[in-house]
Amino acid sequence: MFHLIRWSPEIKLGDIIALLGFTATVGGVIYAALQVRHGASSTRADIVMRLLEGYFGDQALRRTYYRIDYQQFKFDPARFQMSEEEPDIDRLGRVDKA
């Protein structure tokens, strides 16, 4: 049989340095993972905040939303095209505020 690895009960300086390097690497990987997780949650929160600001920061859009929510909006295909409500209804269906 091949004896490539031999057990030695003594601890050498090289073993301590290797252990410290491994510990620092594991610590660095854990720290990086936590930073990525924190950054991703901050980015998600920022996206949601901008989305809500886009919807509810515009008075006309908010008024249209509430008219639909409170069932005060009645869709009439004969008068909907080119009406004042059409752009606001269209913007409710998009993510951007444009």
Do 47 and 17 sit in the same domain of this protein?
Answer: yes
- Residue 4's pLDDT band (boundaries 50, 70, 90)? confident
Do 39 and 63 sit in the same domain of this protein?
Answer: no
* DSSP state at residue 81: T
Do 45 and 32 sit in the same domain of this protein?
Answer: yes
Q: Which domain range does residue 35 map to?
A: 13-56
User: Rounded to two decimals, what is the model's pTM?
Assistant: 0.44
Do 22 and 48 sit in the same domain of this protein?
Answer: yes
Do 64 and 45 sit in the same domain of this protein?
Answer: no
Do 65 and 82 sit in the same domain of this protein?
Answer: yes
Cα–Cα dist 65/73, whole Å: 9
User: Would you say residue 1 lies in a domain?
Assistant: no
- Residue 97's pLDDT band (boundaries 50, 70, 90)? low
The contacts of residue 68 (CB under 8 Å, 6+ apart) are 92
User: What pLDDT, in 10s, does the model give residues 56-83?
Assistant: 778 888 888 888 889 988 888 888 888 8
User: What pLDDT, in 10s, does the model give residues 30-59?
Assistant: 999 999 988 888 888 888 888 778 777 788
Cα–Cα dist 63/61, whole Å: 5
